[in-house]
Structure 1
Amino acid sequence: MFDSKLITLIVSVITIAPIIAILIEKWKFKNNTNINRDKNYYYKCIFITYENYSCLQHVYNTTSCGEKCSYAYLTEILNLLKSAKSSISMCMYHLSLQQIFQEIINAKLRGVSIRIITDREMEFNSGSKISRLRQEGVEIKTQSIAELTGYLHHKFCLIDKNYDSQIMWFGSLNLTLQGICSNWDNIVITNNNDIILRFSNAFENLWTDM
């Protein structure tokens, strides 16, 4: 006959093993998805609502009605582009704002490496600045015709990645007048290294595949 202690031990192991396996999987998931809580990083959330519709004229007149004004938000994005010293890697569904176009050209003129990934169909949308950026020598890629099973719908921008000054924004905002003034949209600005690394890997994979 089997020793009763041995039987108890075997039953206990069989009972506990699935629990241990679940705990291990939870640890792996947490380890793979946890964002670095480094106190040196920061983030800022910007939300555009129906209230920003009244800011349309502010964008035209380059005047701000306050910190939540669309022109103030646009200025913040422009300042991020102005801060670029090494590179701008942008993935944007639609880009039609003249101010953004000009700031990208300014960055190119001061020697910043610029790469843009955009949607193939939206490149030819009315008001799009992509064709003009191509004419100015900016590197731009889109999905191939064979890959047109969906939109290239990303909206993020990496600035000076791999440098101490690296920063990025991501969210739902297209760089359009409608996006900055009329839609319900958002962007998050951050210098968090983990987030930048993940978006950077995604950008490089897209750039290589296109």
Structure 2
Amino acid sequence: MLITQIIMKQIRDYPIVTTLSIAVGTVLASEVIWKLVQCSRSKREKASRVHEVIVFNELGEICAAAHMRNNGIGSQKPHMSPCCNAHCSLRNVAKIAEQIDRAVYSIDLAIFTFSSLSLADALKRALQRGVIIRIISDGEMVYCTGSQITMLAQLGVPVRVPITTNLMHNKFCIIDGVERVEEIRLLRKLKWMRPCYSIVISGSLNWTAQGLGGNWENCIITADEKLTATFQAEFQRMWRSFGKTEASRIQPK
């Protein structure tokens, strides 16, 4: 009670000083709160960032029969039952799908051949969330048996290929690349952006049943800023280059 009386007396006797003190205190308190929010957000982002090497080898399919018994046929997101196989192919594929499921604004995929139903389903889920997807592929392999690229083109995903006898042999995917996200922000005239961070998935791996469950392959998933920026810049360069002629743009059938 006494403290309240003292404060009220100070306000009556020194209104300007009191007002300035309250204003300064409010600003300082706001700064402290904002710093705490930024620190908390930074910790969450660091905890969710990934730097991982995934290997696919001859040991990846020894647990396949058990997983098939525990999952329904055609399941879009197979349930990962406990698995003691350190090289489990299904778990490895799920790690790639998990990153696709985290996409907020963009997915840019450069892939030689793509027939994996599980990863195609992950891209379809991204489309349903409003994520903008672009695909660059090889002019011949885009039409190979089981290709999921033509299916995604039918869903409205723009696809471009080089017009050349040389192979478009890249296999990388950038999720929420900084340059691309900024491009989308300007395109949509957005003032506020949802939190996101860049991921690149790259390696020898084609997104096919053979690549994901038969070959000896490697795949790096990383949030390294330099690597994501480099891959994003190359995708942007190829996208512009392959968009100069109508023949480079795959049309839905």
TM-score range relative to shorter protein: 0.7 to 0.9
Distance 1:131 1:186 in 2: 25
Which TM-score applies when normalising by structure 1? 0.74
Equivalence for 2:174: 158
- Give runs of aligned pairs for residues 47-86 of structure 1, distance below 5 A: 47-57=55-65, 60=68, 61=71, 62=78, 63=80, 65=83, 66-86=85-105
CA distance in 1, matches of 2:119, 2:103: 13
Code of the aligned partner of 2:175 = I
Bigger RCO of structures 1 and 2 (CA < 8 A, at least 6 apart): 1
Greater shift, 98-107 or 192-201, is seen at 98-107
Q: CA 1:179–1:42 in structure 2 vs 1: closer, same or farther (change >3 Å)?
A: same
* Cα distance in structure 1, aligned partners of 2:67 and 2:152: 22
| Contact 1:91 1:116 (C-alpha < 8 Å) held by counterparts | yes
Relative distance call for 1:58 and 1:116 in structure 2 (3 A) is farther
Instruction: Provide the rounded CA distance (Å) in 2 between the counterparts of 1:209 and 1:151.
Output: 15
Aligned length: 168
Greater C-alpha Rg: 2
* 1:137 has 2:145 as partner: no
Question: Can you give the 5+ residue segments of structure 1 that lack an aligned partner in the other structure?
Answer: 1-39
**Offset, 1:137:** 0.5
**CA–CA separation in structure 2 for the residues paired with 1:71 and 1:87:** 25
Q: Do structure 1's residue 118 and structure 2's residue 126 form an aligned pair?
A: no
Matched, 1:191 2:220: no
1:108/1:114 contact within 8 Å kept: yes
CA distance in 1, matches of 2:139, 2:224: 30
With the length of structure 2 as denominator, give the TM-score of the two structures. Answer: 0.62
Correspondence 1:104 to 2:123: yes
- The Cα shift of 1:136 comes to 0.7
Check conservation: 2:59, 2:87, Cα contact below 8 A: no
Say which SS state the counterpart of residue 96 (structure 1) adopts.
coil
Which of 194, 202, 205 pairs up with 2:234? Answer: 202
Cα pair 2:171 2:205 within 8 Å, conserved: yes
Match for 1:198: what amino acid? T
TM-aligned CA distance change 1:48 to 1:165, over 3 Å: same
* RMSD of equivalent CA atoms: 1.8
Match of 1:22 in 2: none
Q: Could you tell me how far apart the structure 2 residues matched to 1:42 and 1:84 are?
A: 14
Deviations 1:107-142 (A, max 9, x none): 112110100101110111111111111111111111
Q: Does 2:49 correspond to 1:45?
A: no
Report how far residue 101 of structure 1 moved: 1.2
How far residue 57 of structure 1 moved from its aligned partner, in angstroms, is 3.9
Task: Return closer, same or farther for 1:99/1:70 CA change in 2, 3 Å cut-off.
Answer: same
Gap regions ≥5 residues in structure 2: 1-45, 72-77, 182-195, 243-253
- d(CA) in 2 for partners of 1:176 and 1:99? 10
Q: Is 2:61–2:88's contact at 8 Å kept on the other side of the alignment?
A: no
CA–CA distance in structure 1, aligned partners of residues 64 and 211 of structure 2: 11
Whether the 8 Å CA contact 2:112–2:170 is kept in 1: the answer is: yes
Q: Percent identity?
A: 31
